[in-house]
Structure 1
Amino acid sequence: MRWCLTAVLFVALICSVRPDEEFPEPSLRIMAKSTVYNVGEIKGIFCKGQNLVEPIHWYSPSGKLIEERSTKNNRVFVERKIEDNGILVPLIIHKIKISDGGNWTCKSGNLSEVREIIVGEKVKLSDTNVTLEGEEGKSVKLSCEANGYPAPVVVWYKDKQQIREKDEPKKYSIKPDNTLEIKKLNHADVGLYVCKVRQKALSHYTEKTVHLSVQHKPILYNSDTQMIYTNQKYKTEEVYAILNDTKNVTCSAIANPAPTYRWYRRQNGFDGDPITDPDTVVTSEDGTNSVLILRIRDDSYYGEYRCAANNSKGMESIIFHVNPGSKPEPPDFVSLAGANTTALTFNVTCSTCIFATGEEVSPDPKNLTVIGYILQLAPAKAGYPVDWDGAPEYRVDVEEANNTLFTVGPLSNGTVYHVRVRTRNAAGNSEWLEVADAKTTDDAIRLTATIALVIVTILVQLY
């Protein structure tokens, strides 16, 4: 009887043990989340084993067995740890080197796992914001010391546009060390240059900015159209002025260093004495322009005037032909077309005006093309006359004859403005046409409208 009970207990014990508990499967795995490392770092890469018969060993990419730490082996070594659920053997690498890159193997008996370690050196740019000045006609080199491993991808940009050497080989040359050479410098090369450096394998990005200026002789341009005058030897421009009115003739230049200006009245093709009256010639402090103020009292003021802009790099001049011109007619209809908290929109028409049809100026000086309007807005103050002298002016251009809507701003919200408008052409301006007052909307009105819109939206969704 006792023998039978013992047999039953033995059979029950055998049946209660699962096969996987009797014969557990050995396993081995490397627990590295990342295998991309930077030069100089200290890294530990763990290899974990369970139910192993043989010990865990690490092997270098060259196949060398990595031993435990010792006085002779204190940079690359292994440690052994025993946990409740297995054995943990970390590979420790101090001051990791580029030469440490490659396939490292964790092995136990017939089990093994391989991890590729990528060791890189992130690019470090010593000076990331540089100001540089070149000289017209010469070359300049912009450096980008992008030294790193893996070799980075370097791209140069000028004013946010990528520079492609193959597109402009006569202007740009990118050297093997990523230096950008700009040849035959001129004023158009002034700008912001950015060297963008990327190492995709290291998820690393950095950049260097170079602010380039160029010393060059004056470049004359039209301040209204922003068009640069051609490089013809004799630069000229037709100017129209109204009798018994004041005409401002503007001479504008781009130059480095800033230029000085001289104005001359020309007679029979020759310069007279320089015009130096400070009430007649006004030059901006930054040297960007000089204005000749002509008070056309009679026909003798018409004729030729030469402006010369000069700096240490050279001199350029232009001759303005001042001709009799017609005073434009004022608008014949102006009305308020729209208003918000910061702007007013007006409908402005002029039935007697000639508008552009491809030519900026009408061929008839007595009836010049209307190029736009001037709107002046003065805040209304109860009990005070209109202060037109202190009121800002808004110049608007007529881009299409059929477009009569013009918006001005920014303005103060909830404010009543006195309004007047006049027409302008190449010779000057018409008389002012005063129109009805206009008012910008209040913030409260906008808020009320917004709340009403929200309520309507909610009601629509409910019903």
Structure 2
Amino acid sequence: MIKRKQHNRCVTIGIIYIATIISQAMTDDPRFAEPIPNVTVALGRDASLPCVVENLGTYKVAWIHIDRQMILTIHRHVISRVPRFSVSHDNAKTWLLHVSSVQKEDRGYYMCQVNTNPMISQVGYLQVVVPPNIIDTESTQSTVAVRENQNISLTCKADGFPTPKIMWRREDGQAISVEKRKKVNVYEGDQLNLTRISRTEMGAYLCIATNSIPPSVSKRIIVDVEFSPMIWVPNQLVGAPAGTDVTIDCHTEAYPRAISYWVYENVMLLPTKKYGTETMENSYRAHMKLTVRNLQVGDFGNYRCISKNSLGETEGSIRLYEIPMPSTPPRATEMKSNSNKENSGKRNHSRHFNQEDQTKVVMVSSSDRDTVKAGPAYDSGVEFYTPPTPPNSGCVSIVRWAAPQIAAVILHSVFSDTLFLTQN
């Protein structure tokens, strides 16, 4: 009996203890179950701040924007006149403050408050990050011009959160000259100073702003370097034979872009069937070509390539002269009689004559060979040969061949005797 009484007493105490705990829980004041997290959101996106309250009872929850000192919501009602704010409750412990299309001014501390006595509250932070944006009104305009060997400063301003970093690059990938002492592929800073700028530094420069919040932005600034024209002539003397085509050329550099043309004997040459002109341009460089077709005597002389812009004028000179047409040297010709091959060794002789005694070679076709009469030996330029005689000439041909030789011997003897008598 005693043990049963003790057991009943323990049960009763336990029930009373549990009831006391439940009673105490029902009568506890409200408290926050967890802190409000710090929330980061990009500009224009939506954000939500949670406030978790236990034992709220009949108390009410309010949201306040501390930085703007503005009451946003009380319990389920929106007090603020900004339509982007709203509140929701999950019928448990969580009260959510919603901010749609977040703006820069929404950044700051938000307080979740419960109207107990004394009042309890906790604070969370809404961070609004802003992608970089280049401020055109505070930056260098998109195109600038500067004279060669002068100084120029390029400025690029950007806003955003966090504060953007500014980098400079050349669009063509070339290095940037910094104070003429070193070259860098990337330059950091909102101002780029180009000292004693040269024509090789002409081109597009990119100002790039980034702060780790996508997207990065850039601005393209074109730098034009102005200078008067310059001309280089690869070949100042050009020779070509008459009757051929010839091409002459000049290389020019100028900015602003120059007007380039060719002049011959103070007359501007325009594209015609006689003259062909071609100009290939690349940035501030140009390659001029002039083709003169079917060269004649009047086409040789001095040609000028002229280039001019608003800053000056210059010219180059090319002299075109005539050279002889290349030819092949003459070849020795050996001609034999087909009808008297067996006697060719006796009848073909080589003799040297004076220039005035030489006779042109007469070429006779095989169809006219029978009508040709025997004659004196002809000079081929290298050897002398005897034209073939008609068949059946027999001894007549021998006599005809020997008669001039005998006559020459007789005349030589007579003249020698006469000269001897005269001297005596």
Q: TM-score range by the shorter chain?
A: 0.3 to 0.5
Larger gyration radius, structure 1 or structure 2: 2
Higher helix share: 2
TM-score (norm 2): 0.47
TM-score (norm 1): 0.44
